[in-house]
């Protein structure tokens, strides 16, 4: 049997006492037993947990191991074995305990269209070994293979079926830099639209055909991510918080599954979010979600506001802002360029900061960055490199570096910090790098 661990390993959803370990075996048709190990060291001399999981064809031979009883804020190493073959080893890290004041080091990535370029940025992200990695959506794109691309994605057709989505994830995971980023740190991913279909909202047109497609896409997403919960009845519970001591409350949002004409989040998710924003004792309230949050007026011919972003739901946005007075941070993506700015309420009060990650590889649209900055005084930074966010939240401040590469159409680009910003809880200030 050839090595079945070609899609790599991953971990995610860190809690103070546990993580989820993931792998998916390839080349099998029957159920298979998979042994797993967790060690304190990367040579697996001190194995502290182990067990056997069952890889089932119905779940594409994916394995999601819920490891419990670990120490808080601690690095661990893990690996799998099946049929005499060993997986690569991964490194993970638990969250700190509920009273911890330890800083948290995170990275955030998004928008990685395979045909548009190499995942060099992920290699650099992996080298940073952050405490946690957030993915802000567009992990795959469902589109058919284009006539010309930097590289060839599989399958050739637009993905609409379970088999199609599975093959698309496998194609993306053929990239060693993406596998390295998963093996380097635990992930907390959220999805945007392209994990299913361009610009879909909620239940789409409500047809059985669309709901079957959405259910297939959600299942394939689960099968390739280290998530704590399984899809059920065609849905998947994605909104959740991951709390790092008293320092950062990361609220991972689902801006697609419950979206409707007058709501980005749906009533239940909004109520959950508003309640936590208002009551959390944690210093930083961090929204982990795909879409541009603050107002962005684009000069020129109408429409000047992009209705697909939060500018399409200003009332719901205002209700979220009414729940905070400061210390709000929004991490977002989607627009394939980097932005940073202040979050200002309708009454003119600055309550936080937004950092918009560019894209790992997806091509940017034509954007008049200076023109948009001039028309939006709260927006302070624009940059057009491919890259990711690298940040640290601490008791004193919240820092974000925009990390960028000069090219993705060929391998090997070095990374550099394009700009770095800090906030003490209201607006942002650029710091020298």
Binding site for Fe ion (CB under 5 A): 111, 138, 362
Whichever of 28 and 150 has its CB closer to Fe ion, that residue is: 150
Minimum distance of Fe ion from residue 364's CB (angstroms): 10
Minimum distance of Fe ion from residue 27's CB (angstroms): 31
Whichever of 13 and 138 has its CB closer to Fe ion, that residue is: 138
Q: What Cα–Cα distance (Å) separates residue 10 from each residue in 22, 169, 185, 187, 218?
A: 5, 14, 8, 8, 18
Minimum distance of Fe ion from residue 138's CB (angstroms): 3
Minimum distance of Fe ion from residue 367's CB (angstroms): 14
**3-class secondary structure per residue, 65-118:** EEECCCCCCCEEEEEEEECCEECCCEEEECCCCCCCCCCEEEEEECCCCHHHCC
**Which residue in 403, 389, 388 sits closest to 433, CA to CA?**
403
Minimum distance of Fe ion from residue 334's CB (angstroms): 6
Cis bond upstream, residue 303 (ω within 30) = yes
Minimum distance of Fe ion from residue 336's CB (angstroms): 6
The Cα–Cα gap between 168 and 50 comes to 31
Beta strands 32-39 and 75-82 are antiparallel
From the number of C-beta atoms within 10 Å of its C-beta (0-12, 13-18, 19+), residue 301 rates as exposed
Whichever of 138 and 195 has its CB closer to Fe ion, that residue is: 138
Cβ atoms 192, 138 nearer than 8 A: yes
Whichever of 313 and 358 has its CB closer to Fe ion, that residue is: 358
Whichever of 80 and 139 has its CB closer to Fe ion, that residue is: 139
Minimum distance of Fe ion from residue 362's CB (angstroms): 5
Cβ atoms 400, 421 nearer than 8 A: yes
Phi then psi for 371, rounded to 5 degrees? Answer: -65, -40
Cβ atoms 146, 156 nearer than 8 A: no
Whichever of 5 and 191 has its CB closer to Fe ion, that residue is: 191
User: What torsion do the CA atoms of 191, 197, 200, 206 make, to the nearest 10 degrees?
Assistant: -120
Chain centroid to Cα 63, Å, comes to 20
Whichever of 61 and 113 has its CB closer to Fe ion, that residue is: 113
Whichever of 234 and 364 has its CB closer to Fe ion, that residue is: 364
Minimum distance of Fe ion from residue 359's CB (angstroms): 6
């Amino acid at each position: 049997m050839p090595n079945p661990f070609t899609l790599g390993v991953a971990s995610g959803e860190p809690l103070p006492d546990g993580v989820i370990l993931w792998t998916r075996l390839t080349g099998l048709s029957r159920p298979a037993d998979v042994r797993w190990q967790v060690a304190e060291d990367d040579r697996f001399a001190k194995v502290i947990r182990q067990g056997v999981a069952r890889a089932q064809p119905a779940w594409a031979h994916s394995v999601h191991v819920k490891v419990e009883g670990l120490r808080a804020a601690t690095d661990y190493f893990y690996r799998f074995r099946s049929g005499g073959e060993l997986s690569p080893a991964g490194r993970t890290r638990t969250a700190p305990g509920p009273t911890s004041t330890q800083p948290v080091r995170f990275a955030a990535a998004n928008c990685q269209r395979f045909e548009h370029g190499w995942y060099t940025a992920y290699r650099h992200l992996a080298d940073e070994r952050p405490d946690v990695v957030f993915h802000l959506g567009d992990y795959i794109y469902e589109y058919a293979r284009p006539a010309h691309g930097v590289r060839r994605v599989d399958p050739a057709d637009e993905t609409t079926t379970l088999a199609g989505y599975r093959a698309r994830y496998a194609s993306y995971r053929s990239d060693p830099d993406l596998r390295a980023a998963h093996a380097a740190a635990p992930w907390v991913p959220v999805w945007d639209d392209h994990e299913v279909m361009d610009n879909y909202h909620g239940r789409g047109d409500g047809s059985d055909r669309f709901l079957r497609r959405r259910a297939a896409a959600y299942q394939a997403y689960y099968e390739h991510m280290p998530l704590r919960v399984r899809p059920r009845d065609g849905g998947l519970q994605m909104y959740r918080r991951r709390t790092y001591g008293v320092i950062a409350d990361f609220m991972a949002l689902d801006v697609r599954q419950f979206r409707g004409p007058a709501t980005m989040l749906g009533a239940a998710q909004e109520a959950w979010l508003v309640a936590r924003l208002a009551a959390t004792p944690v210093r930083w309230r961090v929204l982990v979600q795909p879409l541009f949050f603050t107002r962005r007026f684009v000069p020129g011919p109408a429409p000047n506001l992009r209705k697909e972003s939060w500018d399409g739901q200003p009332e719901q946005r205002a209700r979220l802002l009414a729940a905070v007075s400061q210390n709000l941070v929004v991490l977002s993506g989607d627009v394939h360029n980097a932005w940073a700015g202040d979050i200002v309420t309708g009454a003119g009060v600055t309550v936080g900061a937004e950092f918009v990650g560019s894209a790992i590889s997806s091509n940017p649209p034509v954007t008049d960055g200076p023109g948009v900055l001039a028309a939006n005084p709260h927006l302070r930074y624009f940059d057009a490199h491919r890259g990711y966010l690298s940040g640290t939240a601490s008791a004193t401040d919240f820092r974000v570096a925009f990390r960028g590469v000069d090219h993705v159409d060929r391998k090997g680009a070095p990374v550099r910090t394009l700009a770095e910003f800090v906030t003490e809880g209201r607006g942002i200030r650029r710091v020298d790098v």
